[in-house]
Structure 1
Amino acid sequence: MVGMRDVAKKAGVSLSTVSLVANGTGYVSDAMRARVTDAMRSLDYIPNELARNLYRNRTNIIGIIVPTVRHPFFSSFVSALQRSFAARGMHAMLCSTSGAEKTEKEYIDMVQRRMMDGIVMAAHTQWQEDFWVSIGRPVVSLDRYLGLGIPSVCSNHEQGGRLIAEHLIATGARHVVSVGGPRSQFEDLPAGIENRTTFPSVRYHMMLERMMGEQGIPCDYVEAGEVSSLGDHAQAAHEVFERFPDVDAVVGSDLVAAYCVQEARHRGLRVPEDLQVIAYDGTFMADAAGLRLTCVRQDMDGLAERVVIRMMQLIEETPVDDELDVVPVRFVPGDTTR
């Protein structure tokens, strides 16, 4: 097996120079670097990644914690996040917390033992907000408030709710039903704390309800259960029509919206003439419902890039703004609205 000494002999340089080139540290002239890299190439030298990471006190591995990868939003986000980390030479280790009680704690233990460089937290967590700062390792959250000192990235959900409301008001909606997670998530923080929720995504529902209320348009809410309970989404779509037979506009995730289109067809309702449907996420699912769903599209690549930037800043110990980093959304007309 070819080692660094072989490279040094081939290039006619010292072992320490080969080490500097291999580890990307210290100063080496361009000419000297070219000699070393040419020698590596000609000898098919493969750097010892473990040794290099020990030298740099890095693993180049990031843990990504999500509730499930079956949901279109999380599968799309994880795909974008992996691409963004890979572009920086980092590797992602995925953890889905659905149906597994210990996985979150195992990942936290791994990052504390420096078996990975940081954690991207995109799932509901059992830990209190002071816990995440106390572990003393890089943590960035997506669509979650983990407490002061933890950088967080999310879409501009208030903008999303406003875009939906403006369209429904303009097209004469008379009774809107919004479908989302447990209503308890709307205010899961004590009184006196701004926004009072650790789930920024609920703000699009809240904005929609407020703007509909200002226009005197009924806006009801149906719970679809936890995001990982995919079977509950179909049941929630059924419940919308059972509880509110006069509904003429439904808003929910791509998955909920797709089920609502199916349910409407089974009941002989025309989409969008009798019922408007607006999806929130804008993933691949928005094009797979039989009709092209009108949607509010979250910028997966933009979210991923912002998360990765924050993570690399933490790892490299450069100053990080822990204010909420908000990514714009956009309204994409489809075949399910007027």
Structure 2
Amino acid sequence: MVGMRDVAKQAGVSLSTVSLVVNDAGYVSEGKRERVVEAMRLLNYVPNELARNLYRDRTNTIGVIVPTIRHPFFATFTSVLQREFSARGLRTMLCSTEDSDKGESEYVDMLRRHMMDGIVMSSHTMHPVDYWTSISRPIVAFDRYLGPGIPLVGSDHESGGHMVADLLIRSGARHVAMIGGLRSQFHDLAMRGAPGTGERDTTFPTACYYLTLEQDLRAAGVRYDYVEAGGVGDFEGYAIAVHNALEWFGNDHAVDAGCFDDDDAVDAIVSSDIGASYAVQAALRCGLRVPDDVQIIAYDGTYLTGTAGVRLTAVRQDFNAIATAVVARMIALIEGEDAPSESSAEDAAPQPVDLIPVSLHLGDSTR
């Protein structure tokens, strides 16, 4: 097996010179570099990637932690993110916390032991902020507030909430059902006014979209109710929540289908792409016309919005821009341009926040 010593002998240079050329580190004269490259070609020498990474204290591997890859949002997110990292010579190692027995702790341990260069954390976490800020290794949070000093990338969900509210108010909606995850996640952080969370007491920045929507509807005098659908991977929970929203609050057009009659029936449903798709199915089963009897708005804008039976109106998140921002933050941390603080959570500077604009795409499910 050909090694660097063989290359050095063939090129007539020292072993250290070959090492500098292979690892692209330090100064080597152009003449010697050409001799080394030619010797490598003649001997069919292939540099050992592991050894080269050890020399650089790099693994070129990024851990990506998501709740579940079954969800179309996280499936799309990880696909685009992997493509962006790959374009920069970085591999990704995926951890789906709800689909595996091993959670984020194993990945954090690998990061501490320098077995990966960084972690993109986009799963809900029960760890206190001190846990994440004490790691002092490259971590980028996506749609999660992990603690001071840890960069956060996410969509501008507050703007998204305003978009949905404006559309519903202008269309004359009277009673809006919002269907989403566990409400307890909206207030899961002990400290209030956490940087990057819009002064909310939550690690879950996407709560801003629901809370903003509620605020705008309340100001306009539009009734709204929040219906919990369970965890992010609980698809059956979304189907049940949609059915319950129509049944609990009733609809004049659905009496024959077994739904209750109610003078203040739900005439608009807002949910993720999954919830919105289930809402189309449930509305049609109840004899409701979309959007004449009930408007349906999806939030995420993945491929699912085109497969729901009608073309859904959706607030679309820009996955390409999100991935670009996440990768840029990660590379800056790895290269030391934005080194993580070793201070305590109380002393660390507020983390940089990248808010990616969202856009409203009108479909056939709203008036």
TM over 0.5: yes
DSSP 3-state at the match of 1:216: coil
Q: For 1:237-276, what aligned pairs fall within 5 Å after superposition?
A: 237-245=242-250, 246-276=265-295
Name the counterpart of 2:76.
76
With over 3 angstroms needed to count, the CA separation of the structure-2 counterparts of 1:39 and 1:333, relative to structure 1, is farther
Q: Deviations over 1:233-253 (max 9, x none)?
A: 111111111122211111110
d(CA) in 2 for partners of 1:11 and 1:212? Answer: 75
State the SS of the aligned residue for 2:211: helix
Q: CA deviation at 1:41?
A: 4.5
For 1:311 and 1:25, the matched residues in 2 are separated by 22
Give the secondary structure class of the aligned counterpart of 2:178: strand
Out of 101-110 and 193-202, give the one that drifted further. Answer: 101-110
SS in 1 for 2:162: helix
Residue identity in the other structure for 1:209:
E
Of 90-99 and 11-20, deviating more is 11-20
Where 2:53 maps in the other structure, the secondary structure is helix
| Corresponding position: 1:314 with 2:336 | no
Choose the corresponding residue for 2:363, options 331, 334, 337.
Answer: 334
1:287 aligned to which of 306, 327, 332: 306
Task: Tell me how far 1:38 sits from its aligned partner.
Answer: 5.0
**1:242–1:42 distance in 2 versus 1, CA, 3 Å:** farther
**2:315 and 2:358 in contact (8 A); partners too:** yes
Matched AA of 2:358: V
State the shift of 1:160 in Å: 0.5
Aligned-residue RMSD, C-alpha: 1.9
Do structure 1's residue 184 and structure 2's residue 184 form an aligned pair?
yes
Q: TM-score, normalised by structure 2?
A: 0.87
The residue that corresponds to 1:106 in the other structure is 106
Contact 2:139 2:330 in 1 (8 A): yes
Q: Report the residue type matching 1:215 in the other structure.
A: A
1:283 is matched by which residue type in structure 2?
A: T
1:217 matched to 2:222? The reply is yes
Structure 2 SS opposite 1:159: helix
Q: Distance in 2 between matches of 1:31 and 1:254?
A: 60
Aligned CA distance change for structure 1 residues 42 and 333 (closer, same or farther; 3 Å): farther
Q: Which residue of 1 aligns with 2:240?
A: 235
The one-letter code sitting in structure 2 at the alignment partner of 1:237 is V
Q: Are residues 33 and 5 of structure 1, via their aligned partners in 2, closer, same or farther at CA, if it must alter by over 3 Å?
A: same
Alpha-carbon displacement from aligned partner over 1:69-100 (angstroms, at most 9, x marks no partner): 00011111111111111111111111111154
Question: Aligned pair in 2 of structure 1 residues 35, 176: CA closer, same or farther (>3 Å)?
Answer: farther
- Give the 5 Å matches for 1:106-145: 106-145=106-145
1:302-333 deviation digits (Å, cap 9, x = unpaired) = 11111111111111111368222111111111
Q: Report deviation, 1:61.
A: 1.1
Distance 1:237 1:38 in 2: 67
Q: Secondary structure at the match of 2:226?
A: strand
SS of residue in 1 equivalent to 2:77:
helix
Secondary structure of the residue aligned to 1:331 is strand
Amino acid at match of 2:25: T
| CA drift at 1:11 | 5.0
Q: What letter matches 1:163 in structure 2?
A: M
Which residue does 2:54 correspond to in 1?
A: 54
Within 2, Cα distance between the matches of 1:233 and 1:290? 17
Name the CA distance, whole Å, in 2 between partners of 1:145 and 1:169: 31
1:37-79 alpha-carbon deviations (Å, 9 max, x no partner): 4554454432101101111111111111111000011111111
Aligned equivalents of 1:334, 1:29: Cα separation in 2:
62
Distance 1:272 1:49, change over 3 A: same
1:287-314 CA distances to partner (integer Å, 9 max, x unpaired)?
Answer: 1112221111111111111111111111
Q: 1:332 to 1:109 in 2, by over 3 A?
A: same
Partner residue in 1 for 2:258: none
- What is the CA–CA distance in structure 2 between the aligned matches of 1:32 and 1:268, rounded to whole Å? 79
Partner of 1:323: 352
- 2:298 is paired with a residue whose SS is strand
Q: Which moved more, 1:258-267 or 1:16-25?
A: 16-25
- Structure 2, unaligned stretches of length 5 or more? 194-198, 251-264, 340-349
Q: What is aligned with 1:93?
A: 93
Could you tell me whether the CA contact under 8 Å between 2:147 and 2:351 is conserved in 1? no
Amino acid of the residue matched to residue 328 of structure 1?
P
Q: Could you tell me which residue of structure 2 aligns to residue 205 of structure 1?
A: 210
Q: How far did 1:163 drift? A: 0.8
Greater Cα shift, 42-51 or 106-115? 42-51
1:2–1:252 Cα change, 3 Å: same
Counting aligned pairs with the same residue, the percent is: 57
The one-letter code sitting in structure 1 at the alignment partner of 2:215 is R
CA 88–29 in structure 1, closer or farther in 2 if over 3 Å, else same: farther
C-alpha distance in 2, partners of 1:64/1:260? 31
The residue identity in structure 1 corresponding to 2:123 is A
Unaligned 5+ residue runs, structure 1? none
* 1:83-130 CA distance string (max 9 Å, x none): 111111111111111154542211111111111111111111121101
CA distance in 2: counterparts of 1:273 and 1:40, whole angstroms: 71
C-alpha offsets along residues 192-239 of structure 1, whole Å, 9 cap, x if unaligned?
433111100011111111111111111111111110222211111111
**Aligned pair count?**
338
Change (3 A) 1:213 1:10: same
| Counterpart contact for 2:68–2:99, Cα < 8 Å | no
